[in-house]
Structure 1
Amino acid sequence: MAFIEFNLKRGRGIAANFRPTVEQLEERQCLSVTAPTGLQLTALSATQVKATWNDVAGESGYRLFRWNGTQTILVATVAANVKTFTVGQLPANQMQWFTVEAFDASTSARSAWLSVTTPPNPITAPTNLQIGNIGLTQMSLSWTNAVGATGYRIFMWDGTTTQQIGTASRATPAFKVTGLAQGTVYYFYVQAFNNTNIANSAWVNAKTLAQGITPPANFKAQVINANTIGLSWNDVGSETGYRVYRWTGVAGESPVVIATLAANTTGYQAIGLLPGRAYSFYIQAFNATNFANTAWVTVNTPAVAPLQAPGSVAVAVTGTNSVRVSWTEPARATGYNVYIWNGFGWTNIATVSRGTTSVPINGLAAYRTYWFLVQSFTDGFAEVANSGYVFANL
């Protein structure tokens, strides 16, 4: 760049688009004050520069000038003996030129021009990036504002390419993503930016819902007997299975899952219930990403007489090492357990269903006494009743 010599007159400011030099800007006259020396510039931040210089004798004060690329601008005027000034509101990441001028009542003298480059604006990455409100084709992003950010760019990777899908302002650190495919995993990060810098958040990911699911329709509960309730419903068609929930209605007790069933199942029998009790049920259809519940249905099991123990229990010796235990059936029993005393406790040696009233017991030792009892039970062992003891001598 060529430099142009100017003859400057007192009291007039002349500027052009060129790099300033002391020769171009000093006054052509005998000066009674000397130019300040030791000018130093320190970038305190992206927008602040501190200027310091050596004090001169006989000055009335100092003027600090800045060259903005087009003209010389008076930045500040300070009193005599002041040797520092901090300039603010500067553009970030740019070279800045300064000179300091000592003056008295009639004369002035400037230092050489000196430059310093302001650093880029500082910025931190967005934090706490979260995904919520996940639907079939959309989800929402939110994050904590980054220090120094003036805005945000949102990026998405769909498993193939990464692309910017939108922007957000500092005032609204959130973004809604739409137009996604169902049942697909998407990855996101947010980029904070200002006029000079960027900073990226960590990646997060989430999967859109695979398919909407509706509650099973036509849910019904029907009493089968005092210990069993049958449940039925319509298949929803988009489930991978069903869960059956039961609640006894007792304060302090929570609903429990009593069965998890395969897809396309439309019925279940809840067994092991007590007579004369109220039971509430609901069915939950589910798939990999969603679920839907029916309303509660409450049914009362009928109140009946308590289960009775098997009657007329007897044991007959049928051989050197065998016996047969027999009994009569009580009402409501759905099966029987036959127990033998082993010297320390009772051992179950046979379980039979209703309609069977005797069982053979083999493999016993000769010349010993054996004790037996028979237990009746209902479905799910909701009720049990034990007979008295009988014995046989071999």
Structure 2
Amino acid sequence: MKKIIQLLFSTLFLTLLFIQSVAFAEEVNLTPAMTSNTSPSGTVSASSVYYASDYAAWYAFDKRTGAPAPWIAKEATGWIRYDFGSSKSIVTRYEVTSKDHEAYTSQSPKSWVLEGSDNGISWDVLDTQTNVSNWARREKRSFKIPNITDYKMYQVRVTQTFGGVVSVEEIGLYGGIAAAAPSTPTNLKATAGDSSVKLNWTANTEINIGGYNIYVDGIKLNTTPIATNSFNVTGLINGRGYGFQVSAVDKKGAESIKSVIVDGTPVSPLPANPSGLTAIAGDREVSLLWNMVSGATGYNIKRSTTVGGPYTTVANNVYTSLPYKDTALTNGTTYYYVVSAVNTGGESGNSNEVSATPVVPIPANPSGLVATAGDAEVSLSWNMVPAATGYNIKRSTTVGGPYTTVANNVYTSLSYTDTALTNGTTYYYVVSAVNAGGESGNSNEASATPQSPITSLNVIIAEEKVKIGQEFTSNIALKNAKDIYAEDFTMKYDNKLFDYVGVEEVPGYKIYNKPTDQNGELRFIVASQGKNFGITGEKTFLKLKFKAKAAGTGKVDALKCRIADTQKEFDLVEGACSEDTVTVEGVKDVNRTGEYTLLDLSIDAYYFGELASNADPSKYDANQAGDEYVKDEDLVFIANQMINNANYTPNN
């Protein structure tokens, strides 16, 4: 209940305050002296009329008493109404006059309400009176109301009398004619500032102007009129839009209609130009860094391929983190950049200009460099470096350099041979990788000492494997020789696995002794036949023939090698007399039992002189000595295998 009373008092106070702010001229009677329900203006109506000819509704608005008569309703309650028609009026006081007749005591209104409406359907209660008593005959009573609203029609609705029908002699509606309000201010302009908006408008020309009221989003800002035709609204939120209006107020407090709404959005001041812009080139990209600008909410990145622009904006309102990377660029092209700062106030000027030329990254240092010495040369190899387009080869005769580049941008393979060197001198090498981005650091250092090649006598057997009974050739050759015309050497071979068959001479070279098998060793003395057959470099000058006779791996080895040119003779070091091996694959016994017995000998004896294939190949291996016929060699081989078979013993 207390809150309701407080609310009523607050409403009354605000209403009175508003009324005081409106200036009125002298109070006037708002209705004419009516001569009918519709003349001379407006319309009078009532809920009912006791007698239309004697107690018409318009009698209550004829401004006379006693004649012709009052308005009388048929009931003890009812209403009487005045409609202003097309116009509206503000009623601030009304009068009710009791009947000029002895029946006034019972027919005078006791309780009623005054209501206003624009449509006759919905009514606003403007005043309520209850238990109004002690009426005198033809007594006029006046009631002031705090009304500030103009209505098209007003009515008195009687809710209670003193027992009889409703009867009213006269009703008067009064109100002040509002003084002419000032004209609405024009040309309102809003200029945005930092957390503020400056308002300017054309000053009113009326002589009684007392000032202006400022409205922000429909809410009055000032408590007293503003004296000038400009005002700075402060305390606003930057970036938020506001609607501004202004009205004029005269010295009596009459206020004009508010101006049209003008929008304004306060903004932060423009940020300063960025400074300290730097550019770092990368592989198809440029990274940008700059000093942060106070108050900036973002940055615009601008690029050109020409000094000084024109620039194209490649990124707007960037503010994720620094640096900013401009990607998908063309390596080798120079790009020019500026940066501007932005906030709600707008965009700053450009920063200093910087440029950068993106390039592929410098390759990594090569690794795994290996140097191998040769005759007056060194061969180099190393591991591949991704993104390298070539390699620089550098050489020194001192550990750690300094190095001289001996080959640039090598990329035929991951190897290089450095030639025309001095045998016996140690060379030190490093390798660097190169591409469009530049040159890497040096690889590990590798060294090698080229040497003159050692002359060697080589034994070369083409076959790796042979079968029992199969012949094979051992080629005898000199390598790294120079003008050699005679050779003296011994050949040792595994006579348990091979039989020496003989020699095949090479044209231009002749054996001048008659070597015979000496328990696995043969000595050969060979000479060239003329200066055209002197051996320089590598040359095969003799071919020895052997025949496999038993399974196993055996070798043919050169020993005691001596050579001679026309000036002197040379003994080759032990390592320069080489050897070679061959594997003799064994055969299965004839009947494939896993060991040689008298039965194997008997089967081959049965097929003696015939093709070995006449014995059923799916059951027998009759070919034991490597010939397609079964001969004595096959039977001898079987007999020897029987003798060597420890599991086979004769009949005891």
Same fold (TM over 0.5): no
Structure with more of its chain in helix, by fraction: 2
**Please, what TM-score do these two structures have when normalized by structure 2?**
0.27
Which of the pair has more CA radius of gyration? Answer: 2
**Please, what TM-score do these two structures have when normalized by structure 1?**
0.41
Which protein, 1 or 2, shows the higher relative CO under an 8 Å CA cutoff with sep ≥ 6?
A: 1
Structure with more of its chain in strand, by fraction: 1
